[in-house]
Amino acid sequence: MGRGEITTIHAEVKGRYGSPRIHAELVSRGHECCVNLVARVTREAGIAAKTKRKFRQTTDSNHARPVAENVLDRAFDPEEPNERWCADITYVPTREGWLYLAVVEDLFGRMVAGGSMDDAMTSRLVDALGMALARRLSLKGASPSGLVAHSDRGSQYASEHYQRRLREERIACRMSRRGDCGDDAPMESFFASLKKELVHDEDYATRDQARSSIFEYIEVFYNRVRRHSALGYVAPDEYERTHNQPHR
């Protein structure tokens, strides 16, 4: 294992990995090395992961709509897929104006199960839920029985459009406490990664350009390639496939 292999991996992931993820990738490729050695080599080579910046809060919890209690209580590690989903909305700047992104993540394997993008912060953004249901349950003939959908108290998630869909699917709705971003830690982590590893390096001319870029990041890189620290540095897709394999 040499500097060349580390540089190659860093380039392959577009500079998104620091030494822990580079180490995990090296091990997966058959290289025997310790993370401290990788950290030293990356430091000497001037290789580092992209750093995060602060971004604006988009939650509008100043509304009169009913909200649900937070019974998830930061239990972010379910034992099976499709037990606990987490949803949130963020924004992406373009020269045409903001593009708003809604995401549904399955907390079991941190898989982004559904997403939707729109020019405005409307309840239609929560169509990400419909996409998640189609991909994770409907196409597999599975039932959402026992599924908990967690979100913040934003008006989009308290809307009749979103709440009606939850009732129709018999999905339990749970919401974070007001002003407590720790209750949404998995989604905060995902959006921080998205901004750090993609958005902050881009200058999108149009919303369509941003849509295409974000879709590629989520579907090609994040779900299938990116090594997730909460999963022992494997990608969400690999983590779920390993879980679904029959035990011998």
Greater confidence (70 vs 15) lies with 15
Structure confidence at residue 124 (pLDDT): 76
Structure confidence at residue 50 (pLDDT): 72
What is the Cα Rg of the chain in Å? 19
Structure confidence at residue 146 (pLDDT): 86
Most confident stretch, 14-28, 82-96, 111-125: 82-96
Structure confidence at residue 96 (pLDDT): 97
Q: What is the mean pLDDT of residues 103-107?
A: 96
**Residues paired with 115 in a beta bridge:** 103
At residue 248 the predicted structure's pLDDT band, cuts being 50, 70 and 90, is very low
Q: What is the Cα–Cα distance from 20 to 9, expressed in whole angstroms? A: 12
Structure confidence at residue 45 (pLDDT): 82
Lowest mean pLDDT segment, chosen from 41-50, 105-114, 216-225, 229-238: 41-50
Distance of CA 244 to the CA centre of its chain: 21
Q: Is the pLDDT of residue 181 over 80?
A: no
Q: What is the Cα–Cα distance from 149 to 132, expressed in whole angstroms? A: 11
pTM attached to this predicted model? 0.83
Residue for token digits 């099976």?
80
- For β-strands 148-151 and 84-94, DSSP reports them as parallel
Q: Looking at the chain, how many residues does it have?
A: 248
Which tokens in the block code for residue 152? Answer: 């913040």
